[in-house]
Amino acid sequence: MSCAYLLRNVSLFAQLNEEELDLLAAEFTLQNFRRGQVLFQQGSLTNCLYIVKSGSVQVTAFGRDNTITFTDVFRAEQYFGEFSLLDGLPRSGEAVALEHSDLLVLTRPTFFRFLERQTMVAIKLLVTVSRRMRFAESALDQPLVRSAEEKIVRLLLNIAQQYQTGARFSVRLTADDLAALSGVTRSAAQAVVEKLRQQGLLILDRSHIASVDLAALQAHYQRMVQGVPLSAD
């Protein structure tokens, strides 16, 4: 079975069409990891993108005094390692399989050879990365906010100011993207996105934000910063 359906959850590939996803899926290899096996160590140069097909993997980052600065668990249909795939920099943490796990793996050399053959895919990726950089830069200009929800809502509104084309807009970002851009944890971003979805402020297409109700989100934000209870949303 093709792994193209798993690639749809990878935000880096959000702009690719079905044919392009199928072609890229053929470049992945399936690797098996036993419980406790190390996929990569912090500081290593593995430079692969991993998609969990089954099982689970824990990624942990350590500070200079060996204290844990970040930890997260990735399960079926989740991915990690996309930044190293692009920039080739050392890993910021170590990854260990928590159980027997099957992972789809795309190496950096294989990925770049694919981009040499598929120039339109390369162009789409450039556009995606450029937009993420713009979003990140705009987030730095925002005044101090108090909560993860406030940070993410403000980020979405700021993005809308630059790219709004109507009452609703599509950003094709995931909760993971919002976490990276707003500086909150991945789990906090996921909780905020789910809360906004339940309140009808945004619509999801799988793991991506497909549509945002700007007027409702703006009103929600104003109540938030003014300290008005939000339970009636």
Grouping H, G, I as helix, E, B as strand and the rest as coil, residue 210 is strand
Question: Does the pLDDT of residue 137 top 60, yes or no?
Answer: no
Strands (E), the chain: 29-33, 38-40, 48-54, 56-62, 68-75, 79-80, 94-97, 101-107, 168-169, 202-205, 208-213
Q: In what order do the strands lie in the sheet with 168-169?
A: 168-169, 208-213, 202-205
The band of 35, judged by pLDDT with boundaries at 50, 70 and 90, is very high
| pLDDT on residue 164 | 56
CB 160 within 8 A of CB 212: yes
Please give the residue that has the higher pLDDT: either 2 or 175: 175
| pLDDT on residue 184 | 75
- The per-residue pLDDT for range 102-131, each reduced to its tens digit, is 999 999 999 999 998 998 888 788 777 766
| Residue ranges of domains in the chain, CATH in brackets | 4-117 (2.60.120.10), 142-225 (1.10.10.10)
Give the N- to C-terminal CA distance of the chain in Å, as an integer.
43
Give the predicted TM-score (pTM) of the model: 0.62
